[in-house]
Chain A
């Protein structure tokens, strides 16, 4: 099967902010992601409820991964 796992813009909301990281929940209850602050690009100080967007693709399980 040939699949096309191109990255697409995905949106979500910040649900937790610390001095170390932010936690993001994707819209549609499609999972959560925690990233360190240095991976967040922002024009203002991040707050809970702020919308974020990132490029993401489907996740493929690698058969030769172990």
Chain B
């Protein structure tokens, strides 16, 4: 199959291979060449072997062929009239890199916007983030024009929209006792709660609470439905005021139904807890955390309906609520640490939005948005009930437990409630002085394609209205949610907004759809075989992934070229990119 001049131009640095039998004396044109996009398939099937001295499409166009060659023959210097100088030998690209080192290193925006008004051009207004001029790879579109120096305004003060004070109280020991209390680092949970908490939902039939200490991880656990921080509002609503949070102890919710079936059948992670949890991931317990295990048995057969898992979460929340009541009363003087989170409008910096695609197919593929208490259940709205349409939260609302995850399948790639509580990408982008994070959009992933495109189009309209200069789209898990993930990126990309995609794909979850806007992608895989490893939190977004994603977005906003990824998953690309951002 021959190619068009546009394709030839796009692939001018790719190997030149003739598509059909080509006779001696032919002046090579795009019509004589094969599309480089299909080379990997041809190579896999043994139809094509590209030698090292192959010429590129740019080098052979317009040259005269001096011998007749068969279809699918790579063109080498000996076939071309006059050959080619050694100096013109094409550079062999050893490895595809998604982030170029040059681009990543030069991203040091001065924090200004340069506005240029060109009189002669009939009132063309260019608004270029300062980040563009800082990056050496950008087009020199911004030639100083008369009056341009006046346009470079002094840096404007950042505007703090809201402040959240988080007081951390350290838990040194957890016990079961007669009354719920929290004194001198010892948390006591009332034994009778196991019966009282079941009143939260009649589908929750039985509850057991036990304590797993960090030195005793060799215990069996049923599937871990969620990992939940214990936090409560003391002043203000979610995202502002004061929140108290316990450190050193975390709740893990596990569940089966009355017939013994794991609530998270398809993606359950029952087993020895020390082997089934990737400790230290944002959504998991840390290595030295005390785990308060709340095990709920729900009505037989309800694990496959929405009401079943939801009942387990509600009953678990009732236990946490009693702990929250004692945590609320702790005096500030007893706090081990205080952290201040600010929602800052960074005036003059490129506006950036984070889009987080969350599950929305029903059953446990649901998330409670903006509960009354941090990481709680009551008062929040499930995104399935909201029709999965995009909902905007501020970074502080996310960090204050604005999302309670009912996530189910794919333990390695699911984002638990604790993940959102300490989301590395939200934290990184919110604190980065070179960009202005305007908000975090949560969009659900419905089952049916038509519904997926409905929500995706609304996302596109929302992002357009936000007037952003860049966007990062993430999704948890894999499967048909990659259809909406790709669509979200397309909706944003086709509006001319630089966009970066972040997901686990690797071997098992490889993308099933794609479009031309998906040229900047960040892989979350950590498993050596690229599989859903059945270890909780294993392939979720970490700080390192967040750093790569933000560096890639900055490079893309600066106009840097992003090299295409290899056709198949290759972990070395990720490792290489990681080294590049660390160096930068």
Chain A interface residues (CB < 8 Å from chain B): 18-21, 36-46
How many interface residues does chain B have, given as a range?
20 to 34
Contact status A37-B361, CB under 8 Å:
yes
Select B449's contact among A18, A38, A41, beta carbons within 8 Å: A41
> Can you sample 21 A-B contacts with CB below 8 Å?
A18-B363, A19-B306, A19-B362, A19-B363, A20-B265, A20-B303, A21-B304, A36-B266, A36-B267, A37-B365, A38-B365, A38-B478, A38-B479, A39-B479, A40-B447, A41-B483, A41-B512, A43-B448, A44-B448, A44-B450, A45-B448
In the complex, whether B477 has a CB less than 8 A from a CB of chain A is yes
Give every chain B residue within 8 A of A18 (Cβ-Cβ).
304-305, 363
Q: How many inter-chain residue pairs (CB < 8 Å) link A and B?
A: 55
Give every chain B residue within 8 A of A36 (Cβ-Cβ).
266-267, 409, 479
What's the Cα separation between A18 and B304 when bound, in Å? 6
The main secondary structure of chain A at its interface with chain B is: loop
Chain B interface residues (CB < 8 Å from chain A): 265-267, 303-306, 361-365, 408-409, 447-450, 477-481, 483, 512
Known: A40-B447, A41-B483, A46-B447. 17 other contacts (CB 8 A): A19-B305, A19-B361, A19-B362, A20-B303, A36-B267, A36-B409, A37-B361, A37-B365, A38-B365, A38-B479, A41-B512, A42-B447, A42-B480, A43-B448, A43-B449, A45-B447, A45-B448
A41-B304 in contact given A20-B266, A36-B267 (Cβ < 8 Å): no
A39-B305 in contact given A19-B361, A19-B363, A20-B266 (Cβ < 8 Å): no
What is the CB-to-nearest-CB distance from A18 to chain B, in angstroms, rounded to a whole number?
A: 4
What's the Cα separation between A18 and B308 when bound, in Å? 12
A40-B450 in contact given A19-B304, A20-B303, A20-B363 (Cβ < 8 Å): no
Give every chain A residue within 8 A of B362 (Cβ-Cβ).
19
Contact status B363-A42, CB under 8 Å:
no
What's the Cα separation between A55 and B555 when bound, in Å? 39
What's the Cα separation between A39 and B450 when bound, in Å? 16
Contact status A37-B304, CB under 8 Å:
no
What's the Cα separation between A48 and B265 when bound, in Å? 21
Give every chain B residue within 8 A of A43 (Cβ-Cβ).
448-450
Give every chain A residue within 8 A of B306 (Cβ-Cβ).
19
Contact status A38-B304, CB under 8 Å:
no
Select A21's contact among B266, B448, B478, B483, beta carbons within 8 Å: B266
- Name the residue of chain B whose CB is nearest to the CB of A21: B266
Contact status B361-A38, CB under 8 Å:
yes
Give every chain B residue within 8 A of A37 (Cβ-Cβ).
361, 365, 447, 480
What is the CB-to-nearest-CB distance from B486 to chain A, in angstroms, rounded to a whole number?
A: 12
Give every chain B residue within 8 A of A40 (Cβ-Cβ).
447, 480
- Name the residue of chain B whose CB is nearest to the CB of A46: B447
Closest A-B pairs by Cβ, 5 of them: A38-B479, A19-B363, A18-B304, A20-B304, A36-B266
Give every chain B residue within 8 A of A19 (Cβ-Cβ).
304-306, 361-363
Select A41's contact among B305, B363, B478, B480, beta carbons within 8 Å: B480
What's the Cα separation between A36 and B477 when bound, in Å? 12
What's the Cα separation between A8 and B478 when bound, in Å? 23
What is the CB-to-nearest-CB distance from B350 to chain A, in angstroms, rounded to a whole number?
A: 34
What's the Cα separation between A46 and B364 when bound, in Å? 18
- Name the residue of chain B whose CB is nearest to the CB of A20: B304
What's the Cα separation between A45 and B462 when bound, in Å? 26
What's the Cα separation between A46 and B448 when bound, in Å? 8
Give every chain A residue within 8 A of B363 (Cβ-Cβ).
18-20
Give every chain A residue within 8 A of B265 (Cβ-Cβ).
20-21
What is the CB-to-nearest-CB distance from B430 to chain A, in angstroms, rounded to a whole number?
A: 30
What's the Cα separation between A37 and B361 when bound, in Å? 8
Give every chain A residue within 8 A of B361 (Cβ-Cβ).
19, 37-38
A39-B304 in contact given A19-B363, A21-B266, A44-B448 (Cβ < 8 Å): no
